Structures are given as structure tokens and as C-alpha cells.
Amino acid sequence: MACSRLRQRCDEQQTRSDTPMAAAANIHNTRHTTTGQRPRLTLVVPCYNEALGLAAFFDRLTPVLAQLPDYAHEIICIDDGSTDDTYAQLEWHAQRNPHITLVELSRNFGKENALTAGLDLADGDAVIPIDADLQHPPELILDMVKLWEQGADMVLAKRKTRNDTGKLQRWLTQGFYRLHNQLAECHIPADVGDFRLMDRQVVHSLQQLTERTRFMKGLYAWVGYKQVTIEFDVEPRRHGQSSFNARKLFQLALDGIVGFSTVPLYVWVGFGTVIAALALLYGLWIVLSTLLFGISVPGYASILTAVLFLGGIQLIGIGVLGQYIGRTYKETKKRPIYLVRRLHRHTPSEITTP
């Protein structure tokens, strides 16, 4: 399928406007208007090699959604290029549950992009991204919906405990949050991931952020809106392993900092100034000491140290520049963030009440 952004296929979203002001004018918040229809809740579930756990996921999710009879709901499952039979499993569930919309991406694009695909298609009044591995307890959806009904635009689910990760990872994660929040203009709350409820207006805003390097936590923070936090205990993964190894986590952290702050670029101005000032003072000292004490044997070690130190500093500076130039290059190519191989959505007549 040649299309890239699912939103282009959504009739309702074809009315999207280019300016934030015009987009805001298009939004009818069902919490405040009576359309006569049930409000719609959309779940977005990115799935990558989750075949073993999908049955348990739907078994736990279905009774939760049944407790929200006043809502129409849709479960958008995105198969992010799985290599196991995740797609076949999802298809099996979709044949039995008309609320399931199935999207298959053409390959593995990564969680951030798979989520973007789901959010592009999501047109509910409230949208909830949730992981398929049951680390996000579906029961929390009920509390989220309550808080949304009370007026929150975004309900964040904050991990109370982090039993799913080791001590070193927890320590590095805390360090990342601190560094990010020092450098970036928008603060990301610690221990809050993608599991959250977003009002339609928030999702519309996210859909306008078309950058190619996706760091969703940063994008959620950037759009702002009225946020409320609730806490939950993260559960251990039921089946399989996390797809986020150390390299991927480091890449994500780098995307978070480079994508939301230009401070690393400016830091080199400060470094360069300090080093140049020190070099000038050292030069003055050499001139003075030569005048006062005569020429001494030049220090081979100090020259080598200075050359290596400056070389190292310059390489780091070039590396930081490279991070930004690489991302600019990616943006200018304007490649789609994901490609869709298949999309199956039930027609309204197929969807009966839960």
C-alpha cells in the first residue's frame, strides 16, 4: 500500500486544518456537547511478537470495556512487522470481535512509529495507548475515563514501582529524566510512559507533529493541556521479552535529548571559550617565564596532552553536531514514518454494542 499516513484515509480527519487555530475550531468535545451518540473510546495497541500473550490480553481487556456500556469502543491493534504469528492471532480475534481494527505495518518500524500509526487512525473522543504485554493493567482504564469525564485532557499513568527493571537501569533512567528536564524546555514526568488517556483534542495536536524522529514522551509533554496523574504498579511481562535492549534505550534517550533541546549544540561555545581562555593564560605564562627565567627545555608531555585533549574535545563537538545534522537530513528526506501493508476495520453495521 503506497499510502503512508493512515490519517489520510480517515474521512473525519480529512477536515484537518493546517493551523492550530483552525484545527481547534474543528474540534467538538463530546464532554461538552450532546451529539446524541455514545462517546467513543479508542485503544491503541502496538504489537511486536506478542502472539503468546494476546489471548490473555483480550481476556483481561474485554470485561473492563464491558464495564463502560455508555461508551462505544474501538481497539486498534498495530502489528509492527512481527516475525511470529502475531498477525494471525490478531486476525483471529478481529474475526470474533468487531471492535478490533487491525493494521499491519510493512516491517518493524519501532514502538514509537507503530504508536504514531495507531494515533493517526484513532478518531475516538478519548484515546488510550496501551501495551499488549499486560504490563499496563487494563483495569486502570476505568479510573482514567472517570478523570477524563471530570475534565482532564490527559490522564497519565505513573509507575509506582519499577519491579520490571534492574537497579542499574532504574538509576540510568532517573539520570536521563533529570538530564532531559534540565536541558529541554518541556519537562517529562518521571516514570510515566505511553499508557495514558488523551482527549481527542490532544490527539489532534499530536497528529500535527509530523517529525520523523519520534520520541513520544517528549511529544506528549510538548503538546501540554490539562494533565492529571494516577499511579499503578507495573506488572512483570507475562510472555516473551522486552524489545528494548540497552542499545535501543540509549538511542531513545538520545532522541529525547537531541529532539527536544539544542543546549548540547551551544555547550561547545562555552567549552571552546574556557579552553581558549586557559590556552591564552598558559601562553602568557610561557612568555613571562621565558623573559624571567630564560628558555627552558620544552615540555613534550604537556604539548602532547594539550593536543590530545583538544582533539578529543573537537571530536565530541563534531559528534554532537553530527547528531543534529543526521536528524535534519532525516527530516529533509520526508520519508513516511511507517508504511501500511494491510488495514482491516469493521463497518459500523458490523459493530454491535458490547
Please report, as ranges, the residues that interact with ligand UDP according to CB under 6 A: 46-48, 50, 80, 108, 110-111, 114, 131-133, 135, 242-244
Identify which of residues 135 and 213 has a Cβ nearer to ligand UDP in the complex: 135
| Least Å from the CB of residue 227 to ligand UDP | 21
Q: Which stretch binds Mg ion (CB under 5 A): 130-138, 246-254, 285-293, 335-343?
A: 130-138
Are 354 and 73 contacting, i.e. CB atoms less than 8 angstroms apart? Answer: yes
From start to end of 3-71, where are the E strands? 40-47
Alpha helix positions (H), 67-166: 86-96, 111-121, 140-149
Identify which of residues 135 and 207 has a Cβ nearer to Mg ion in the complex: 135
Q: Could you give the CA distance from residue 158 to residue 268 in angstroms, rounded to a whole number?
A: 35
Identify which of residues 227 and 243 has a Cβ nearer to ligand UDP in the complex: 243
Give the sheet arrangement for strand 192-199, strand by strand.
227-233, 154-161, 192-199, 126-129, 40-47, 72-79, 100-105, 340-344
133 is an interface residue for Mg ion by CB under 5 A: yes
Through-space distance between the first and last CA atoms of the chain, rounded to whole angstroms: 32
**Residue 111: which of ligand UDP, Mg ion, none does it interact with, CB under 5 to 8 A by kind?**
ligand UDP
Among 82, 135, 207, 213, which residue sits at the site for Mg ion (rule: CB under 5 A)?
135
CA distances from 166 to 170, 188, 240, 312, 321 (A): 6, 21, 17, 33, 33
Largest CA distance in the chain: 97
Identify which of residues 40 and 238 has a Cβ nearer to ligand UDP in the complex: 238
Q: Which stretch binds Mg ion (CB under 5 A): 24-32, 95-103, 109-117, 128-136?
A: 128-136
| Least Å from the CB of residue 25 to ligand UDP | 34
| Least Å from the CB of residue 260 to ligand UDP | 19
Contact residues for 132 (Cβ-Cβ < 8 A; gap 6+):
45, 46, 47, 50, 53, 54, 57, 77
**Number of residues binding to Mg ion, judged by CB under 5 A:** 2
Name 129's bridge partners: 44
Identify which of residues 137 and 317 has a Cβ nearer to ligand UDP in the complex: 137
Identify which of residues 30 and 243 has a Cβ nearer to Mg ion in the complex: 243
Are 202 and 196 contacting, i.e. CB atoms less than 8 angstroms apart? Answer: no
**Residue 253: which of ligand UDP, Mg ion, none does it interact with, CB under 5 to 8 A by kind?**
none
101 is an interface residue for Mg ion by CB under 5 A: no
213 is an interface residue for Mg ion by CB under 5 A: no
Identify which of residues 14 and 241 has a Cβ nearer to Mg ion in the complex: 241
- Cell numbers placing 231: 499511579
Single out the residue of 100, 116, 113 nearest to residue 42, CA to CA.
100
| Least Å from the CB of residue 134 to ligand UDP | 9
| Least Å from the CB of residue 206 to Mg ion | 21
Q: Could you give the CA distance from residue 323 to residue 264 in angstroms, rounded to a whole number?
A: 10
What are the residues binding Mg ion (CB under 5 A)? 133, 135
